[in-house]
Amino acid sequence: MNKAEFQAIVSDFPSFAKEFLHIRSKSGQIKKFELNRAQLYAHDRLEQQLKDKGKVRALILKGRQQGMSTMIQARYFHRVITRRGTKAYILTHEAEATKNLFEMTQRYYDKLPSGLCAPADKASTKELSFKKYDSGYAVGTAGNKGAGRSQTIQLFHGSEVGFWPHAEDHAKGVLQAVSNEKGTEIILESTANGIGNYFHSMWKSAESKHSEFISIFIPWYWQEEYIANDVGFSPTEEEDYIYNLYKEDGMSLAHLAWRRIKISEFSNDYDVGMESFKQEFPCTATEAFLNPIANVFINAKHVVRARRAKVESDTRLIIGVDVAMGDTDKTAIIRRKGRVAYNLETFRNMNTMEIAGYLKHVIEKERPHKMYIDCIGIGAGVVDRLREQNYHFVEGINVARSANHKDKFRNLRAELWSEMRDWLTQEMPVQIPDDDTLHGDLCNLGYKYDSSGRLLIESKDDLRARGMPSPDTSDALALTFYSGFYEQEGDSGVTVIPVIRPGMFI
């Protein structure tokens, strides 16, 4: 290899990767890294944006194990050792992923031919530093809200952003550590984890061209290894439809045979297995953003129908309020008149008196028949303040207390959610705000039955453990069903707010 050939290879990332970088294949074999179709497509999109804008701001949505992290790690390692003053930082969703990604980069470094790269001055379990280049590479875990905030970064890779437990905090922190200079890169990649969360919101903004980020989607059937023996394979009507949709883009009958096997592995119930497959291995972005759990309490098809419906109602106005403080959860306010829910509002960082003041304004302007407020925690203070001003139709609802039908529901929250689901699924059409966050909050919760056969809705803590946001908007809507579908004359709600014990809200 002469000098010109060497320089040409070093300056071109795919060529450099194929010649000098090594990866561990899915079979465990160490081999040279030749970018596959999905990786080349993503690389080309990133390079085009870099050429057009002078920097990279990209979201990558993909299925499981399609090699995006492998490609981005290699891309950034290549930049760090070939350009001076380049610092790369990678933030993952969990400690094990952080360890795996750093080991991948350590392998790139260890397998380089002698003399191709200067020795690292620092080589820990989370950092490579090259003083000669004034460059470096470090990793962190998103469970730590402060991860990366103090860094000066030119290249940032957010891995599995849909599962970050503090996504918005990191957006305010580590993403701000990347300057707006030319040559900088922010790449956020993830499999989908439901809708209404940070990654989904970012994706929707990128798709609609409302942000500087571009959206890059990678379909599962681009992977050559996602195939099975198709000898004797006879596609069903549904499989034939999918095949005809995507065969020009590379889908084969062998891909469909593999798909059928994976669906059966997910569940014995074909419909349940298919929904799980779509979320893990999507053909489109729309398929990807489904609920990631099988036992979802409210099916998305009912929510989609209600978002599209146009219904008129002149029944009494009921307002539901789910109160929150801080910048993680939101205070949510929604109105409902019979079969129409409308005018959803959300607020962050309002204190108790500010929330009470705003609700007073809403009351004076809209004159509701009832306003139901979740009185667990700080909501109790809001209720007290409003009732102190003689708004006696304001009622505090303790959703952790016993249900009215104690034999059917574990607590009042489960009973209210059951009422809300019955309302959404009734034969008569209902209307809700055409809002992605509400859609996600309605469709993200799972359910189970306790040993007495009583319904229990997934808790906020369990949702957060799955990396999902608090269902503030849907909890607000559920409160409007405290007296059923249609509010009747007279009082029927709680007038005395019970003492709340820590841990009651389950």
Give residue-wise pLDDT tens across range 456-494: 999 888 877 666 778 999 999 999 999 887 765 443 333
Q: pLDDT tens for residues 323-343?
A: 987 666 789 999 999 999 999
- Give the model's pLDDT for residue 293: 63
Q: 411 Cβ partners below 8 Å, 6+ apart? A: 399, 400, 401, 402, 403, 456, 506
Q: Bigger pLDDT: 304 or 199?
A: 199
**What's residue 144's pLDDT?**
59
What's the pLDDT score for residue 494? 35
Query: How, if at all, do strands 214-218 and 127-130 pair?
Result: unpaired
> At 24, which amino acid appears?
R
224 neighbors 198 (Cβ within 8 angstroms): no
Beta-carbon count within 10 A of 268 CB: 8
Tens of pLDDT along 11-59?
A: 999 999 999 999 988 778 899 999 999 999 999 999 999 999 999 999 9
- Tell me the three state secondary structure of residue 68: helix
User: CA 504, CA 138: separation in Å to the nearest integer?
Assistant: 41
Mind listing the pLDDT tens digit for each residue in 245-254?
899 999 999 9
pLDDT of residue 272: 74
Give yes or no for a contact between 122 and 128, defined as CB atoms under 8 angstroms apart.
Answer: yes
List of domains in the chain = 36-218 (3.40.50.300), 237-288 (no CATH), 300-479 (3.30.420.240)
**pLDDT exceeds cutoff 60 at 237:** yes
* pLDDT, tens digit, 9 for 90 and up, residues 149-196: 556 899 999 999 988 887 888 777 788 888 889 999 999 999 988 777
Compute CA distances 467 → 198, 199, 432, 461, 462, whole Å.
Answer: 10, 11, 25, 10, 9
What pLDDT was estimated at residue 493?
Answer: 38
On the question of pLDDT at 147 being above 60, the answer is no
Contact indicator for 432, 409 with CB cutoff of 8 Å: no
pLDDT of residue 474: 95
What is the reported pLDDT for 292?
59
Question: Would you state the structure tokens that stand for residue 466, as one six-digit string?
Answer: 């799955």
**What percentage of the chain exceeds 90 in pLDDT?**
54
Judged against a pLDDT cut of 90, whether residue 304 lies above it is answered with no
Contact status, residue 63 vs residue 225, Cβ threshold 8 Å: no
Q: What is the mean pLDDT of residues 284-311?
A: 81
Q: What is the mean pLDDT of residues 184-212?
A: 88
On average, the pLDDT of the chain sits at: 87
